[in-house]
Amino acid sequence: MGNQALCQHDRTESMLKAEYQIRQRKVTQVNEAVKLDLEQEHKQSLIPTIYQNEQQQTSCLHDWLESLHESVLITQINLNCDASTKFLSEIDEEEEIDQTKQSLIDTQEIFEYKKSYPYCNSNLDMVIINFYILKKNEFKIKLIMGPPKQRIRWSCWQLMAYTPKFHIQSDGLSFVEQDQKYAKAIRKDIHRTVTSNEIKYFETGEGQKDLEWVLLKLSKLFPKLGYCQGMNFLVGFTLIINNKQTDQSLQLLAQMMVNPKYLLYYIYSDEMPLVKLLEFICINEIKMKIPDLFNHIYLKLEVQNEIWITKLIMTLFLYNFHINNVCRFWDYLLATSIFDISDIICSLIDLNRYEILNMEDLHQFIQWFDSYQKKELDNLQIDKLIQNCNQFKQKKNKINQYALHFCILHPMRHPLIQQIAENYENLTKMKEFIKKDIFSC
């Protein structure tokens, strides 16, 4: 009996050793394919991803690389294979069901993707695209959990921001005298653009020039919108994550402006329709799902949205949270949608319910909210906050219902909110509306 147990133990050790060796071979193969650790300095972020220790970061990185192994194999097969599935431009219009499938992108599909989104074309980008197509749900779960390197994060963000069949061309834009009105406002805000105390990039001429370039081109891409205060924070943030790749920052934000999942254009447009709708959703989600906190915050403390929710929506957390925490919030929003900002806000106050319920006045709430500007939530805290979002997740039809309810309460409704009420689950109709509304003269 003892010998049998000993043999069983030896087999277990042998199996674990074999599994470890297989995993290491996969990790090495993916590393060689995407050259993650060999990329030039300009590909790395101005800030690293933060972990409790080096062992935890290495483990997370190996887990990601192992998940990408199948995608690497398919990417290599593509070079010698003419197999084809749906074009990438149609992938996002599928039902969100995780389908384990042998799905290949042939050379023509990759060419189409590069033509529409030429800034996302490295080996790593192509491998991540394959991972997304093969296992969409697993990809989104891993993105929400937080990529182990900013370079991986940026590739994921570019892929998620991409708007199928909606090419945005910026290379031919020129600047004329009337653009100086934007330049003047932009130069004022450039000096106020600080997204991290540790980064001095925007205090230099190079950083200010990069900010101005992206903001001016963004205002030219969307002439009906022009430049709006607050855009500088978004641009500054993206330049930090992708290490000063101005063309990629421009394209990411331009795509997020028109993508029906994010609709950034309508955060800044006249009347700020998306801000108003998101505020409405947040308040009602708090009232319905955590009524004790709603009563305390809004009835007893008499907190106004302008003090906290409006700020979080208009800056996408950039003004009130540490940049490392903002990365995780953006991982979540890019994997889901802009409407899931309510999940994060509900999760935040739910996890701080004891402190909030013991507040006696508005001043204490303001002090608590402002304290997040001066501290960074560690990995355990931010993981708990993101995981807690699951209980506040909304389905798409709920967004339609909120928009319809908003329209009933506000007869002078904005066309965007009317469109969301009618067609939010229909991406094609939403894209048609956005294109006509934003780009028609």
CATH code: domain of residue 364? 1.10.472.80
Q: Decide if 62 is inside a domain.
A: yes
CA distance linking residue 248 with residue 305, whole number of Å: 33
Q: Decide if 219 is inside a domain.
A: yes
Query: What residue numbers bound the domain in which 46 lies?
Result: 2-161
Q: Decide if 402 is inside a domain.
A: no
Asked whether residue 203 falls in the same domain as residue 318, the answer is no
Are the C-beta atoms of 305 and 283 separated by less than 8 Å? yes
Instruction: Give the global pTM.
Output: 0.86
Residue 428, both tokens: 């094609």
Q: In tens digits, what is the pLDDT along the chain, a chain of 441 residues?
A: 556 555 555 667 777 777 767 777 877 777 777 776 545 555 567 777 777 677 777 888 888 888 888 777 766 655 443 333 333 333 344 444 444 444 444 455 555 555 655 666 678 888 888 888 888 899 999 999 999 989 999 999 998 998 766 666 665 555 555 566 677 777 776 766 655 666 777 777 788 889 888 998 898 889 889 888 888 889 999 999 998 889 889 989 999 999 999 999 999 998 899 999 999 999 999 999 999 999 999 999 999 999 999 999 999 999 899 999 999 999 999 999 999 999 999 999 999 999 999 999 999 999 999 999 888 899 999 999 999 999 999 888 899 999 999 999 887 778 999 999 988 888 888 988 998 998 876
Which residue, among 276, 284, 285, has the nearest Cα to 418 in the 3D structure?
Answer: 276
Q: What angle do CA 252, 255, 257 make, to 5 degrees?
A: 110
Give the number of other Cβ atoms within 10 Å of residue 48's Cβ.
11
Asked whether residue 25 falls in the same domain as residue 152, the answer is yes
Asked whether residue 183 falls in the same domain as residue 315, the answer is no
Q: Decide if 377 is inside a domain.
A: yes
Asked whether residue 11 falls in the same domain as residue 134, the answer is yes
pLDDT of residue 9: 57
Asked whether residue 186 falls in the same domain as residue 214, the answer is yes
CA distance linking residue 385 with residue 247, whole number of Å: 33
CA distance linking residue 61 with residue 103, whole number of Å: 24
- Backbone torsions φ then ψ of 286, nearest 5 degrees: -65, -45
First to last CA, the chain: 85
Residue 187, both tokens: 């130069």
Asked whether residue 217 falls in the same domain as residue 82, the answer is no
pLDDT of residue 38: 47
Q: Decide if 436 is inside a domain.
A: no
Asked whether residue 220 falls in the same domain as residue 83, the answer is no
Asked whether residue 8 falls in the same domain as residue 118, the answer is yes
Sign of the CA dihedral running 84, 86, 89, 94: negative
Asked whether residue 287 falls in the same domain as residue 240, the answer is no
Asked whether residue 135 falls in the same domain as residue 110, the answer is yes
Asked whether residue 191 falls in the same domain as residue 313, the answer is no
Q: Decide if 401 is inside a domain.
A: no
Which residue, among 78, 75, 163, has the nearest Cα to 124 in the 3D structure?
Answer: 75
Q: Decide if 400 is inside a domain.
A: no
Q: Decide if 349 is inside a domain.
A: yes
Last residue within a domain, chosen from 161, 189, 221: 161
Last residue within a domain, chosen from 240, 264, 288: 264
Last residue within a domain, chosen from 98, 129, 161: 161
Asked whether residue 312 falls in the same domain as residue 388, the answer is yes
CA distance linking residue 125 with residue 335, whole number of Å: 16
Number of domains in the chain: 3
